[in-house]
Copies of this chain bind each other. A is one copy, B any other.
Amino acid sequence: MTTTTGMRIGEIAERSGVTPRTIRYYEELGLLPRAERAQGKHRTYTEVDIERLRELTRLRDLLGLSLDELRSMIVAEEVRADVRQRFHETDSREERLDLLDRAQPHIETQLGLVRRRLAELQELEGELLERRKLLQRRRRELNGP
């Protein structure tokens, strides 16, 4: 084992930039899988969970998605640990292909959203640059003769 000591909620909260309350809330909403409770009642996490949390907050903030929209994108399903496990545990080529097939559309959906946002932001950037140019031109007109 490396760092797989199993972190508790406070640690992964801090390391992923949210509060414990947020983590419990996301779990309740189904955005995070129900955390394992190692030998006690306390939730236990790994590095993978930190990655997942960061990804959630990124999609939330960068794409402006509500938690409901996040869930209905089945972001939850996609990376979900047990899916990966099933993938590794099964010997069936068919089941593996099926799992891959189901992951693909989610990525495409996200890519679509990201690119629309990118386009909109680039348009905004363009207009801001225009304005800046205009300002500078006016300034030159006032300063020059």
Contacts and interface: CB of A to CB of B under 8 A. Distances in A.
Interface of A: 58-59, 61-62, 64, 93, 96-97, 100, 103-104, 107-108, 110-111, 114-115, 117-118, 120-122, 124-125, 128-129, 131-132, 135, 138-139, 142-143
Contact of A104 (B96, B104, B132): B132
- Number of copies of this chain in the oligomer? 2
A97 B117 CA distance: 35
Contacts of A139: 97, 100
A120 B64 contact: no
Given A111-B129, A124-B114, A96 B62 contact: no
12 contacts: A59-B124, A62-B64, A62-B124, A93-B142, A97-B142, A97-B143, A104-B135, A111-B132, A114-B121, A114-B125, A117-B121, A118-B121
Contacts of A107: 128, 131-132, 135
Contacts of A120: 58, 62
Contact of A122 (B111, B118, B132, B138): B118
A120 B110 CA distance: 14
A61 B120 CA distance: 10
Given A117-B62, A139-B97, A110 B122 contact: no
Nearest to A125: B114
Contacts of A122: 118
